[in-house]
A and B are shown apart, each in its own frame.
Chain A
C-alpha cells in the first residue's frame, strides 16, 4: 500500500469530511455498476450502494475498517451485501442479469441479440461456481484488475487467473450450443 493510500485511510479514520466525500465520489459509481449487474434493478442497486458506504462509516466509527486496500474492502462488502439482499429476497440465482440491458448500439436487431445473449448469459452464469461468478462480475463487469480481484476474493493472483480461465471455459461450453441455435 503506497503512502497516499495510507494517508487517505488515516484521514478517513479521522472522519475527515472532505476525504470521505472524495472516497464516495470515486467509488460509488464503480460499486453501483458492480452491484447493478448483480441485482438488475436501479433502486436496489442504489440501496445496496448506500448500504456499502453506511457500513464503511460504521466500521470507521468502531475503529475498524480497511487497513490496506480500500477498494478491495468496498467490493467485498458490496458482494456480501448483495448476498444478503438475495437472502432476504430468497433468490437462488447468484448473478442474475437484467434482460433489459441496453446494448451500446441502439439497433433493434442488436438489442434483440443482446437480450437473447443476456438471458443466455444469465443462465450460463448460474451454472458457474460462486467464485467463478464473482471473478466474472469483478473482472468483466466491474472492470477490476487481477490484483484487485485477488484482494477482494482473498486469493492469489494465480488463482484468480485460473478461475477466470475456468469461468470463461465453462461459459463458452454453455453458450456454444445456444449460439448454434440462434
Chain B
C-alpha cells in the first residue's frame, strides 16, 4: 500500500505542471487523498522558489570563453602506436615469411583490423571474462534473479577456501549481512521475501556463533564486536526499509529485525560472559533449533526436549538466570525455539511438573496439562525437571522454558539430552535443592523457598495454589519469597522483567529522517551521498548487562530486571 502511495505521489508530482488533473485510484482512502494534497502543496512551495538570479549575458559569455580557452590550452591526447598484436604480426611477417605463410598471405580484400580486434577481444572476454563478469553480476543479484544460485555457489566456494575458523566465522557474518541487505532491497523493490532467505540468515548467524565459540577469547570477542556492529547497521537498514513498505514484506522484515535484535543481545551477552557464550554455542552445546526471533509467524511445532534421567538433571530450566536471561528474551539459548514446547519426560528425582504461573507471559508451556501439575513424582510428558521459577519467568517470555535443552550437565552426571551445565553456584543450589527434595516434598508442610520455586513451575496456577493452600502459602508469597531468595527484591520484575520487545525500541529510533542533520559537507566527495539516517539509530545493543553476568552470581531469580531494550 505504501509503495503504491509513493507511486501515486510521484505521478501527481509529474502531472502538477500539466493540465491533467491528478488522478487517484478508485476507492482511494480520503486520508490518503488529504495526505497527498498536503504533499503537493509542499511541492508547490518548492516550485515557487524556482527562479534564480542569472548572471548577466556578458558574464555568461565570458564564462563560455574561459571554458573554451581552457580547452584550447589542454594538450590533445596523443596518437598511440599500433597495437601489440599488430606489431607482433608485422614482426613475424617480416622475419618469418616462409615459416608463417598465412600471416603474409595477401587477402584479396583488405580487412580492417579494428573490427577484427574487437572480435578477438570479445572472444577473449567471453571465454575468460564472462565468468568474472557473471560473478560480478551474480554478486549483486537478489533472490529473484536467475544468477542468485551462482551467488550462493560462490559464497560456498569462499567458505570452502577459508581454512581458519575465524575466517569462516567472518564470512558467515558477512553473508548474514548480505542476506539482510537482500531482504531489504527485495522488499523495497516490492518483491516477495521467501522464507529461505530468512532461514539462510539464521543459518549464517548460528554458524558464526558456533565458530566464534571455538575461537580464542580475543578472536571471539572481536567477532562478537563485529557482530554487534553488523547487527546495528543492518537493524537500521531494516528499520528504514520497514517505514517504506507494508504487507507481507513488512512482517518478514520485522521478523528479520527481531532475529538481529536477538543476535545482538546474544553477542552482548557473549562479550560480557564469554564462558557462558561458549557453553551455549560451543561444540558441547546440544544441537537444536537455531536462533530465532520472537515470532511474528505462527507458532512453530512443538519439540519436546529429551528425557532427563538423572536426579541432578534440570532439562527445562536454567539455574543461572543471568546466563540465560538474555537468551530467552526472544528465544533462549540456541537450542530454544520461540514456540511453546512440551517438556520431555522426566522421571528423575529432580523432576517437577512443568508449569509456572509467572512464566507464561507470551508463550505458556503448552504441553503441561492441568492434571500434570500434581506435585510429587512426575513421569508424564508434561513433567519438567526442577528449574528456577524466576528463571522461567524470563525464559518463557517468548519461548517457554520447556524447550530448553541445556548444553551440559550441572553437577554430577547428567546424561540426558537436555541437561544443563551450570556455574558452580547454581550447581550448588541445585544440589542442595535436589538433596532436599523427594517425591513428597511438595506435599510437605514445611516448605522452603527452593521448593516453592519448583512448585511454581507448575503450569496451572490454581492447582498449585490449591495444593499449596494446605501448606499455607500463596503465589504472591512464593513470588516474593523467590525474589527474596535471590536478594533482588524486585517485585514486579517477575512479570515485567525483560523487555521482550526490546528490539522495537530500536526500530523507532532511527526512523525519523527529519531528525538528522548530517551536514552534507561532512560526506566529502562521495558521489552517492549516502543516507545518514542511521546516525541516530541506537541499534540493537543490549543494555541488559545485568542479565549476562557470567559468573552466575545469584542468578536464582533476579526478577528479570534486565534492562533489555
State the A residues within 8 Å of B (CB).
Answer: 13-15, 17, 20-21, 24-25, 28-29, 32-33, 36-37, 42, 45-46, 49-50, 53-54, 57, 61, 63, 76, 79-80, 82-84, 86-87, 91-95, 97-98, 101-104, 114, 117-118, 121, 126-134, 136, 140-141, 143, 146, 152-156, 158-159, 161-176
Contacts and interface: CB of A to CB of B under 8 A. Distances in A.
Contacts of B68: 17, 20-21, 24
B38 interface: yes
B49 A130 contact: no
Given A53-B67, A94-B521, A158-B189, 18 more contacts: A20-B68, A28-B64, A37-B52, A42-B53, A50-B66, A61-B74, A80-B526, A83-B524, A86-B520, A101-B52, A114-B48, A130-B532, A140-B43, A156-B189, A165-B6, A165-B39, A168-B43, A171-B42
Interface secondary structure of B, over-half rule: helix
Interface stretch (B346-354, B386-394, B478-486, B509-517): B509-517
Given A21-B68, A129-B513, A130-B530, A117 B76 contact: no
Given A25-B64, A162-B244, A164-B13, A101 B39 contact: no
A129 B533 contact: yes
B42 A76 contact: no
Contacts of A97: 49
Contact of A170 (B190, B513, B520): B513
A62 B523 CA distance: 25
A125 B527 CA distance: 20
Contacts of B243: 166
A107 to B, nearest CB: 12
B39 A121 contact: no
B519 interface: yes
- The 5 A-B residue pairs with the shortest CB-CB distance, nearest first, are A94-B520, A170-B514, A154-B528, A86-B521, A140-B46
Contacts of A86: 520-521
B466 interface: no
A37 B46 CA distance: 11
Given A121-B45, A164-B9, A17 B71 contact: yes
A25 to B, nearest CB: 7
Nearest to B77: A15
B39 A172 contact: yes
B217 interface: no
Nearest to A145: B14
Nearest to A101: B49
B508 interface: no
B163 interface: no
21 contacts: A13-B77, A21-B64, A24-B68, A42-B55, A45-B55, A46-B63, A49-B63, A53-B70, A61-B77, A83-B524, A86-B520, A93-B519, A94-B519, A95-B520, A118-B49, A140-B46, A140-B47, A143-B50, A153-B529, A161-B7, A166-B513
A114 B6 contact: no
Interface of B: 3, 5-7, 9-10, 13, 38-39, 41-43, 45-55, 59-60, 63-64, 66-68, 70-72, 74-77, 188-190, 243-244, 513-521, 523-533
A76 B527 contact: yes
B345 to A, nearest CB: 54
Contacts of A163: 531
A133 B72 CA distance: 37
Nearest to A81: B525
A161 B10 contact: yes
Contact of B514 (A28, A33, A159, A174): A174
Contacts of B64: 21, 24-25, 28
Contacts of B49: 37, 97, 101, 103, 114, 117-118, 121, 141
Contacts of A117: 45, 48-49
Nearest to A170: B514
Nearest to B45: A117
A41 B197 CA distance: 51
B530 A131 contact: yes
A126 B521 CA distance: 12
A170 B10 CA distance: 16
A63 B71 contact: no
Contacts of A61: 74-75, 77
B48 A84 contact: no
A182 to B, nearest CB: 12
Nearest to B39: A168
A43 B524 CA distance: 23
A42 B519 CA distance: 22
Given A132-B513, A173-B514, A102 B521 contact: no
A80 B6 contact: no
A25 B188 CA distance: 38
Given A50-B67, A63-B77, A94-B519, A36 B530 contact: no
A45 B59 CA distance: 12
